[in-house]
Structure 1
Amino acid sequence: MKEIEKKISQNKMTKLDILWNDILEFIKENINYQNFKTWFLPLKPLSFENNTLIIEVPSSFYYEYIEAHFIDVLKVALKNFIGPNAKLCYQVVIAKETDKSSTLQWPSNDKVATSNPDIHIPLKTEDIKSLKEKKSNSLPNPFLIPGIRTYSIDSNLIETLDFSNFVEGECNRLARAVGLSIANNPGLTSFNPFFVYSTTGLGKTHLVNAIGLETKKNFSNKIILYMNTAEFLNQFIKVVKSDNISDFIQIYQSVDLLIMDDIHHLANKPKTQEVFFQIFNILHQQDKQIILTSDKPPIELEGIEERLLNRFKWGLTAELTKPDYDTRIQIIHKKLQRDGINLTSEIIEYIAKKVKDSIRELEGVLIAIIAHSTFVKKDLDINDVQNLIDQYIKCNQQTITYDMIKHVICDYFAITLDQLESSTRKQPIVMARHMAMHFASKYSKLTLTEIGRLTGNRKHSSVAYAIKNVNNLLEVDKNFRMQYEEIKKKIIK
């Protein structure tokens, strides 16, 4: 293996060299060679003590990518060559403008810090009878509690989205302060529920994850659950089919802190809203904390039952706004420091002035700049950064028009545009037409009246019915959902 041999001294190899050589050989045999060359050859082993291997990475960009894509093969390699108690740490050297340098170090991720204790749900009478019948001819299990079913709940919290890298500014100061207050006293403040809203990309998900992580740090025995509402809907559909709604409700009611992201996805789903209403009531009555996020404040949400909207307003509603210039500068400095990248003040100020619509877009630009700097292995000047930002904005500013949507729909259903806009009531064409109007309301800036006019001069009420019909089918029809997702990918692409 020529590349590895170059990395190892031709003199006597140390134990660390031999260990790292064995690990690299194993990884090379189990991943694509180009990935191996790009992501593993630049790494350097620094030390190995007490079953802990420390390796140097060029930047935290490498650390995050390796953890996201190759952690499984790394864990197997470490277990094979070190043992079951092997640990891995990454270290990056941050070059300073002076001759001095400093290091940052991260352990390989594990989910111990975010794991929940098991919950125990009483079995239904028919389930107990079934178990007794199955086990009548077998020896009893001394560790099984009769009439109890045990569940393990993953918190779904993202370890990197904590308060340490959540930059405070005028745009989020109130919400951040409330979040810290909740983490210190979940369920027992006047901020229950805590309803956070903003347009996309302004840090809602980061904030609520940070609240969850901080709460877990303060109260390790509390059961915390972060759930995107779309996933909640999918779970509900499955339990309806398996006739297991009671367990579903009891599991959610056992949670101490429930975080529901994008709660607006409950719109026009009355059955799911009924179940969530029950969960909300029990949690609130038991002083359990509820955190909700949405793209709109409760008063502007449509398709949600009034009784739920009233409960959403019981606690505190906070808005996240676009970060100002000073906050964007802080976000850039935080990200660069973490990734061990140096940029001049001129470049940092240029980025902050140019990218101002959302934190997500700002981080996307920084990732592109950091990746470019890492791979070309040279300092970037202002011209390089200008070109990278122009390319990023160009790639991410493609507007989705209704014409584009209609063409994707027509291609997918093998019909003509005239058929789509016609008055025919043939079921396949009606369904294609309804989906086109639904996606237009979702992705274009057109009003329902404008969508109707551009779909064979239909009325506003026809468009509203089409949208409702699609939402209903998404809730109950698995095959329709698969079609929907396929079309959605084509439209976004």
Structure 2
Amino acid sequence: MADTPEQIWDQARKLLLDRIDPDQFERWIAPIQPAMTGDALELAVPNPFYLRWIKERYLRQIERCLEESGWAGVVGLVVGSKPTPAAPPPKRQDKPPKASERMEPRAAPVQEWDSGLNPHLTFDRYVTGPSNLLATSAARAVAQQPGTLYNPLFICGPVGMGKTHLISALGNQIKANFPTFRVLYVGAETFFNELVQAIRNNTTFEFKQKYRQMDVLLLDDVHLFPGREGMQQEFFHTFNALYEGKKQIIISSDRYPQELDRLEDRIRSRFAWGLVADVKPAEYETRLAILTRKVDEDQVVIPLEVLKFIALNIKSSVRELEGAYTRVHAHMKILSITPTIEDAKTWLEDILPRDSDPVSVRQIQKVVADYYQVRMNDLVSASRKKRITQPRQVAMFLAKELTRESYPDIGQEFGGRNHATVIHSIRVVQGRIKEDSAFGAEIEQLRQMIIGR
């Protein structure tokens, strides 16, 4: 068995890395700092949001890995200042490749260049999940070896999925890794407008020089590119010049290359030369992680059940999800209150799904009854036996979180109980979740079962 908390934790981290997605590991596990307090191993996390997330998602895995590493004592989670990891994370380091493995930068530093990139759109602020894993992994790989891997890199997906953030993060990372490279981010409409202006002003030579001297060109929203033959011809030659010079080309679109009907076949075929990676609508876990990241960045207190409510109901796009968060944040700041689910329902009423609730109270009752091995009739009965009251309280809690029913309406679904009983039940469950991580895991499991995951 290792002697120091750092050695104990280092062994456990190596096991965790094999069991957790690398991006999730870097986001949630890497910042943890171990320390010994008496006979307990304390794991310090940056803030209460990390602590809550680790408790709900990873605590059991952490305890299991520590046990396999030889630790048989108590494990505790505490909030501390964001630490530097106790030891280098057991994964490959994102170092720029050797000169022999990448395209050569200019020998002398270039003049200051306006890349058009938003410096705040980085990989650190981009949440990775199953819906965008391929695109994110490809982007990170290209950032290490631009011009040699996946050229061109074509990122596609519906509007509002975070494509602009992803390609901007790639551009910013290339700039950090290769300071002498000329990197340019431009929207397809801007490219078109600049070309029109160059033709009018008889400055097409300067236009060609500007784009063809780039080491990295990031072209956003290529689906907006016009169908004019002359415009497409100039883009075709620019693409060829960059590609033949082993310069990196990164493109985003709301559809696959073969679906870009306004573009010539020869352009569409070139888009598919490298790698086409799609970004799909974010699943529940990723949506919740995005909201948690926003709360963390803004250093505000929004209860986890409110974030879960937003994540469950705002599914169409990341852009709309962040817009819903911004609205809740603004209301709570103006009113100086900690929001509840009821507040969120009121503030987001015009953008919440109107067709139907994600689930019904009856569906929740059935899942909870099956889980705790009681009858649905027991949940609506007058019984006060503990084996009945706990499932009933859990069902009420989930009904309030996952449906748009009011307290009185929920009470009616549980044998005509009044709203005060529903409120009391919800508070009991909330208190147990805070005190008992195992119970919290049960609630999360039920939640996933109910929403059909």
TM-score for the superposition, normalised by structure 1: 0.50
Equivalent position amino acid for 1:349 in 2: K
Q: Is the 8 A contact 2:328 2:347 kept in 1?
A: yes
How far 1:153 moved relative to its partner? 4.2
Partner of 1:305: 264
Question: Is residue 2:188 matched to residue 1:229?
Answer: yes
Counterpart Cα distance in 2 of 1:308 and 1:345: 47
How far 1:391 moved relative to its partner? 3.5
Partner of 2:131: 171
Equivalent position amino acid for 1:284 in 2: Y
Q: 3-state SS of the aligned residue for 1:390?
A: coil
Deviations 1:103-140 (A, max 9, x none): 99xxxxxxxxxxxxxx99xxxxxxxxxxxxxxxxxxxx
Partner of 1:291: 250
Deviations 1:212-266 (A, max 9, x none): 0111110011000000011111111110011111110111011011000011122
Equivalent position amino acid for 2:324 in 1: V
How far 1:342 moved relative to its partner? 1.6
Counterpart Cα distance in 1 of 2:173 and 2:216: 12
Partner of 1:25: none
Q: Is the 8 A contact 1:193 1:290 kept in 2?
A: yes
Counterpart Cα distance in 1 of 2:167 and 2:78: 40
Counterpart Cα distance in 2 of 1:155 and 1:163: 17
Of the three residues 177, 199, 218, the one matched with 1:218 is 177
Deviations 1:260-298 (A, max 9, x none): 001112241211111111110010011100001111101
Of the three residues 343, 365, 382, the one matched with 1:384 is 343
Of the three residues 324, 331, 349, the one matched with 2:290 is 331
* 1:27-426 superposed matches below 5 A: 153-189=113-149, 191-393=150-352
Counterpart Cα distance in 1 of 2:148 and 2:298: 38
Counterpart Cα distance in 1 of 2:81 and 2:339: 21
* Structure 1 gap ranges (5+): 1-92, 105-118, 121-149, 396-493
Q: 3-state SS of the aligned residue for 1:391?
A: coil
Q: 1:266 and 1:379, CA in 2 relative to 1: closer, same or farther beyond 3 A?
A: same
Counterpart Cα distance in 2 of 1:337 and 1:244: 48
Q: Is the 8 A contact 2:127 2:286 kept in 1?
A: yes
Q: Is the 8 A contact 1:162 1:209 kept in 2?
A: yes
Q: Is the 8 A contact 1:264 1:301 kept in 2?
A: yes
Q: 3-state SS of the aligned residue for 1:158?
A: coil
Equivalent position amino acid for 2:186 in 1: M
Percent identity between the two aligned chains: 32
Q: Is the 8 A contact 1:95 1:102 kept in 2?
A: no
Q: Is the 8 A contact 2:187 2:220 kept in 1?
A: yes
How far 1:343 moved relative to its partner? 1.9
What is the aligned residue count?
Answer: 259
Counterpart Cα distance in 2 of 1:253 and 1:316: 22
Counterpart Cα distance in 1 of 2:298 and 2:112: 35
Deviations 1:452-491 (A, max 9, x none): xxxxxxxxxxxxxxxxxxxxxxxxxxxxxxxxxxxxxxxx
Q: 1:193 and 1:351, CA in 2 relative to 1: closer, same or farther beyond 3 A?
A: same
Counterpart Cα distance in 1 of 2:345 and 2:117: 35
Q: 1:292 and 1:99, CA in 2 relative to 1: closer, same or farther beyond 3 A?
A: closer
Q: 1:102 and 1:372, CA in 2 relative to 1: closer, same or farther beyond 3 A?
A: farther
How far 1:152 moved relative to its partner? 6.4
Equivalent position amino acid for 2:290 in 1: I
Counterpart Cα distance in 2 of 1:314 and 1:203: 23
Q: 1:230 and 1:151, CA in 2 relative to 1: closer, same or farther beyond 3 A?
A: farther
Counterpart Cα distance in 1 of 2:352 and 2:195: 38
Equivalent position amino acid for 2:307 in 1: I
Equivalent position amino acid for 1:160 in 2: H
Partner of 1:419: none
Q: 1:195 and 1:338, CA in 2 relative to 1: closer, same or farther beyond 3 A?
A: same
Q: 1:99 and 1:386, CA in 2 relative to 1: closer, same or farther beyond 3 A?
A: farther
Q: 3-state SS of the aligned residue for 1:275?
A: helix
Q: Is the 8 A contact 1:171 1:323 kept in 2?
A: yes
* Structure 2 gap ranges (5+): 1-45, 53-76, 84-104, 355-453
Partner of 1:400: none
Q: Is the 8 A contact 1:267 1:302 kept in 2?
A: no
Q: 3-state SS of the aligned residue for 2:202?
A: coil
Equivalent position amino acid for 1:221 in 2: T
Q: Is the 8 A contact 2:217 2:249 kept in 1?
A: yes
TM-score for the superposition, normalised by structure 2: 0.54
Counterpart Cα distance in 1 of 2:228 and 2:352: 36
Equivalent position amino acid for 2:134 in 1: L
Equivalent position amino acid for 2:193 in 1: N
Equivalent position amino acid for 2:271 in 1: F
Q: 1:177 and 1:99, CA in 2 relative to 1: closer, same or farther beyond 3 A?
A: closer
Q: Is the 8 A contact 2:47 2:79 kept in 1?
A: no
Q: 3-state SS of the aligned residue for 1:304?
A: coil
Q: 3-state SS of the aligned residue for 1:343?
A: coil
Counterpart Cα distance in 1 of 2:111 and 2:236: 22
Equivalent position amino acid for 1:331 in 2: I
Q: 3-state SS of the aligned residue for 2:117?
A: coil
How far 1:345 moved relative to its partner? 2.3
Q: Is the 8 A contact 1:268 1:303 kept in 2?
A: yes
